[in-house]
Structure formats: structure tokens, C-alpha cells
Chains A and B, each alone.
Chain A
Amino acid sequence: MNTTNEPTADNQTVELLGINVHADRIANPKIRQIIAERVGERYLTGNYTETYKEHHQQYNKYDRYDKYDEYSKYDKHDRSAWGLWRETPPRVEEAPKCNTPQ
């Protein structure tokens, strides 16, 4: 899997569920990851996994469940402390412009 910042995709669209989309504009990193694995990495720029990691680093500090003996709190968890990707700017704002086909 390419995790460099070099763009690997052009501006091509892919038809998913009957809709032509720019996969890079899909905000949810989980969906982008599944597209990379099941549809093709070529529809995504090379740094899509890096962006995902950035999200983790940003939000892991809020993780109150990093010790396994604290799991007993599971039924009292405060989900508002979790990182939700919707709280971050949409991925399309960060994506490099890739006009050159490989």
C-alpha cells in the first residue's frame, strides 16, 4: 500500500452504487480504506492512509480506555470524548490536486 505523499491517482471518477464519485472527496477514511482494498488504490491519492493516521494522533489523547483494566467502565463510556471524523475538516479540503495521470 502506498503511503507516500506522492499522488498516485488522477482525477478519474469511479462508479460506486451507480454514482460517479471522486473517491478522494469521500470524507470518511473508513470508506476510503475499503475502496482502496476492494475497488482499487488507483482511485485514491497516495496519502489517504497518512491522513487517517493524523486523525488517530489527534484524537488518541482523548482515549480514556487505553488500559485494559479500565474496561469495566465500558458501560459508562462517554462517546463524546471519542474523535469523530466529522469534527475534522472534510478530507477534500486537504487532498492535493492531482491532474497528472500516472
Chain B
Amino acid sequence: MTSRTLSSAMTQVVEVANGRSVHFIWHGGEPLLAGLTFFEEVNKHSQLFRAKGHSVCNSIQTNGTLVTDRLLDFIATQRDFSLSFSLDGPRDLNDRTRMYKDGRGCFDDVFSGMHKTRDLAKHTAGFYPGGGVIVVVNKHNIKQLPGIYCFFRAQRMGFKLIPVIISGSADKSLAVSPIEFATAMNSLFDTWIDDTESVEIDPFTTMLGNLLTSEPIGCHHSVSCAGNFVAIGPLGDVYPCGRFDGVPEYHLGNVNDSGGLAAALNSSCHERLRHRTASTVPGCTKCEFSAICHGGCMHNAANSGDLMARDPFCSAYKLMYAHMRKYLLGELKRAT
């Protein structure tokens, strides 16, 4: 991303947010390949926005292999950017799916970066430099979720579990079915919910909160993620979210075009996305969980052939919500 595009993109996002808080999530590929200079520039823009009264924060979703002491020093000094890592469990599980080009697993490098980031928190009172983890659930690790929990529990590390999404040239043999995912997740829920250790597992905490409040949060289950998320690629191309990046059908515009981001968000394609809600997705209106699910992830739906259809993981969400609700009802009845 050139300096011009970076400046233009960040400025336009803050303008479009119109006073709302802005959270820039720097994704890749691997975002740290952009180099420290890039993030220094991001920080410079962010400071200018903050000086004008805008609420702006930054985070980086990284594979963790390029976390250096210099980067951590920069984060600690500027008190900007939190790091979130991708790790698929302990070494033997992670290194089956996350490896360097020469076949070496990346576990040791990632784990070292995660611990350095967590150690940083000891010196940055009031600022959280991150250290959270995303675990992609795939065919190799789905039967090991209790072990993965045990591993992160020992580190006192919260983590987020997401099912692998097969798109592009991804290895189809890694896919897990919605029923497989829900069965494994419900079993893990039973282990986690009764454990005194407070390690947070997303989506459990998010989904329990959604059940308790009927006000869903999170990009998968919010009323319409299109109203809150937008992705901007390295050339300034605008897409509804990072998962659509590079898909021509969902190219909304470019921040360097005359209308910029505002025009992209007013495009007919984006309007169509904003209207994908539980009331427009076939089958959702009769679902008992539609008010806290809203048809699931639109990219998952598009990836399986029809943007306006249900998320193919719908059956998994239903099983998980039903399982959690049963547990909650038991707890709540005992507390009347």
C-alpha cells in the first residue's frame, strides 16, 4: 500500500465513520511483511486523528513469525497496535497446517512472539498489547479440541475458534462439516463451562451473551455486518470484508477513485449486502435463533454459491445455540 493510498484510506474511513469509533485491523496475507516503517506511518496518521478528537485504534492479525523486539518496542513506546496471533494448537497440531515453505513448522517462532507480547503488558500499564489467538478448526485438530483447550488453559491464554473456510486454492481435505464442528464445540463447551479457570473462548462467550441479551455482537451474527465493516486492499480496492478481497463480483470501488470510499459504500452491491438480514434470508424467519444469528456470515453463504442464502454453518450455530441455551436455562432456573 502506497503512502498516498494509506493516508487516503485511513482519512476516508474516519470520515465515513462520522464520529463513531474506528478500529483498523491490519490483515494479510501477513501484514508484518509491510515492515515497521509502514506501521510507523499508520501510527502517525492515527495520532493526528486522535488529536482531532477521533477515537481510533489499531490491531494486527499476524501469523506471528515476524514479531521482532523492535516492533514490540515500537508498540510499547507508542501504546498503539495490539497483536493477535494465528496458532492452531500445540506444536504437533499447529505444525501440520502452519509451516514455512521449507516444511519447518512455525510453532516455536509464533509461540515466542506471543509470550514476548504478553510480557510487554507488564510494562504498558493501561495499554493492552494483545497476545490473543485465533485457532482455525480443521480436519487435523477437530478431535483434539479438549487438548487444545488444555494447552491454552495452561498458558492462561484466551482464544477464538473458527472453522476452516475452504475457498480459492485451499486444501479441501482440511474441511470440517457443520455437524462435526458443532459436535466438537458442544463437547468442548461442556468441559469449559464447568472449569473454574477463566480462560475465555470465543465464540462461547459471545454466543452466551447473545442468548442472554438477544442483542448479538460479532461479525457472524450481528444484524448486518455490512453496516460496520469494510475492507480496503493494498491498492485501495474496497470490499465488504477481507474475506471478499479479490472477488470481482464484490469489488465496491477504490478509495483513489473520485467518489472514494463513500461512493463504494453507496454502490448497489453494498446496498444489496446491507439488506441481507434474517428477514430476507430464506428459512431464517422460522428459525427460533434468527434474532441472534441473522443468517450467519454472508461470505460463507456466497462462498457456497448464494449470498442471499443461509450460511452453510447455520446447522452448527443452531446446535450450539440450543446446547448453550439448555445449559443457561438450567443455571437460571436454579437462580430464581
* Interface set of A (CB-CB < 8 Å, partner B): 16-17, 19-23, 25-31, 33-35, 37-39, 52, 55-56, 58-59, 63, 65-68, 70-72, 74-75, 77, 79, 82-86, 88, 92
Per DSSP, chain A at the interface is helix
Per DSSP, chain B at the interface is helix
Apart from A71-B91, A79-B146, A82-B195, list 4 A-B contacts with CB within 8 A.
A21-B336, A31-B208, A38-B212, A77-B147
8 closest cross-chain pairs (CB), A and B: A65-B154, A74-B147, A38-B209, A25-B335, A83-B196, A55-B196, A21-B335, A26-B335
Residue of chain A at shortest CB distance from B115: A68
For A63, what are the chain B residues with a Cβ–Cβ distance below 8 Å?
154, 197
For B193, what are the chain A residues with a Cβ–Cβ distance below 8 Å?
28, 30
Interface residue ranges of B211-232 to A (CB < 8 Å) = 211-213, 215
Of B148, B198, B215, most A-chain CB atoms within 10 Å: B198
Residue of chain A at shortest CB distance from B211: A17
For B148, what are the chain A residues with a Cβ–Cβ distance below 8 Å?
74
A34 touching B205 in the complex, CB below 8 Å, given contacts A71-B91, A83-B196: yes
Considering the chains assembled together, what is the distance between the CA atoms of A27 and B191 in angstroms? 16
Number of A-B contacts (CB under 8 A): 112
* Interface set of B (CB-CB < 8 Å, partner A): 90-92, 111, 144, 146-148, 150-151, 153-155, 191, 193-198, 205, 208-209, 211-213, 215, 325, 328-329, 331-336
Q: How many whole Å from B90's CB to the nearest CB in chain A? A: 5
Would you call B332 and A75 a contact (CB within 8 A)?
no
For B150, what are the chain A residues with a Cβ–Cβ distance below 8 Å?
65, 71, 74, 77
Would you call B212 and A39 a contact (CB within 8 A)?
yes
Would you call A75 and B198 a contact (CB within 8 A)?
no
Considering the chains assembled together, what is the distance between the CA atoms of A73 and B291 in angstroms? 42
For B146, what are the chain A residues with a Cβ–Cβ distance below 8 Å?
77, 79
Residue of chain A at shortest CB distance from B213: A38
A39 touching B213 in the complex, CB below 8 Å, given contacts A19-B336, A20-B336, A74-B90: yes
Considering the chains assembled together, what is the distance between the CA atoms of A71 and B90 in angstroms? 7
Considering the chains assembled together, what is the distance between the CA atoms of A29 and B200 in angstroms? 12
Considering the chains assembled together, what is the distance between the CA atoms of A74 and B336 in angstroms? 38
For B328, what are the chain A residues with a Cβ–Cβ distance below 8 Å?
16-17, 31
